Structures are given as structure tokens and as C-alpha cells.
Amino acid sequence: GESVGLHLPTLSVQEGDNSIINCAYSNSASDYFIWYKQESGKGPQFIIDIRSNMDKRQGQRVTVLLNKTVKHLSLQIAATQPGDSAVYFCAEIPNRDDKIIFGKGTRLHILP
Amino acid sequence: GAGVSQSPRYKVAKRGQDVALRCDPISGHVSLFWYQQALGQGPEFLTYFQNEAQLDKSGLPSDRFFAERPEGSVSTLKIQRTQQEDSAVYLCASSDQTGDGEAFFGQGTRLTVV
């Protein structure tokens, strides 16, 4: 079935390095994509979003890239800090549908 | 408060017991969502309200699950005759517009059925 998923369950990154978290989606009709960060014991927190008519969007220390040709989404975190340790979910809102569909998540582990 | 508030924060229920989980969305937010998150998994959609109307309940796993939002603000998710597989974190989110508005999540209610 159509779904949003992630390539790696765990990513370990040295503090100060850049992190890249990848996501593959299969619903070509999806119009809107979101990255969420979830820390232990908390609900998902919005990081950045991107619409299907864009291929790149930048925020503070984060960049989201969308490649519609291969249905691939990525989140880049610059100068990774200990506070970035969390599980990151990509999510999509399919066209004409209001619910957010989450992938399984990638745990980002920061090495000292 | 400024954010989405859920109560109780933790709930332990004996198998067969009924439970009610409460969500206070951000004031004025039209859309309200319920999600179920099993340990180590991503949130799974349960149901969605636009004001008091329940527009989508396709994610409710069985007829033991029931959600309401009678006045278009506070919502309650009720689970009847709880079973061990219902153990999960139940997340509520609200947004101020349908479709592509940013959704704000509460901290969730961790339900443990023993």
C-alpha cells in the first residue's frame, strides 16, 4: 500500500557534523510534506515543511529537500548539537486529504 | 495554556476497563486529530474532527474506540473494554486550518493495560 517510510532506523553523528536523514514516499499525489522531531516523552514537534511545488526549503540550521522524480525527501541538520538527539519523522498530507501520515522514524544519536 | 493539553498524562487500566482520554486543543483551532503511537513506531492516525464534525474515523481500530468533540473544542477519546494491545501513547493534535496547516501535538497520554 502507499506509505511513507525511512531508510535507516538509527543514525549516529559526531557533534558539530551535519546530519542527513532520508525518507522515501510512495504516494505521488501527496502535496505537502513535514518533518517532525520527537523527544522522549513528548509529542512530535514541527520542524519544517515543504510543498510539492518546491524542491528545497531552508530554516534555522535545517534544510528539507524534495525530489519528486524519485519520491525522496531528506532533512539536513547543520552543525548537529546534543539537543538534536531525538526521533525524526517525515510525514505527508496526501492531496485532498487532511490527515498526516507518518513514517516509522529515524533515531538521531549524537556522539560526543 | 499556549499548547495542546492532554490528560491524564499516564493511565493504567485493568483489562476490560473503560477509559476516557481528554484533549484540550489550542483555543480557536478548527481541526483536531487523534493518533496512536506504539512503542518504537510512528504515530498512526485514528480520527479527525473539523469543529464538532468527525470527518474521518477510518483509523479507529475497532468499535471499542469512540471519539467525540461535542462543542468543537475539547475532545474525548474513549476506549471500551480495554485490551493489552491498546497499550500505547495516544496523541492529540490541533491546527487552525484544514489540510496543510501546521499541527501542534500534545505530550500524549500513555495508556498501559494490565
Which tens digits make up the pLDDT trace of A70-99?
999 999 999 999 999 999 999 998 865 578
d(CA A46, CA A76): 15
In B33-92, the residues whose Cβ lies within 8 Å of chain A are 33, 35, 41-45, 48, 50, 55-56, 59, 91
CB contact under 8 A, A51 and B105: no
CB-CB: which of B45, B100, B106 is closest to A32? B100
Cis peptide before A44 (omega within 30 of 0): no
Complete DSSP assignment for B91-110: EEEEESSTTTSPPEE---EE
pLDDT in tens, B69-112: 999 999 999 999 999 999 999 999 998 875 556 889 999 999 99
Residue A66: what pLDDT?
Answer: 96
Q: Which residues pair with A63 in a beta bridge?
A: A58, A76
A10 has pLDDT over 60? yes
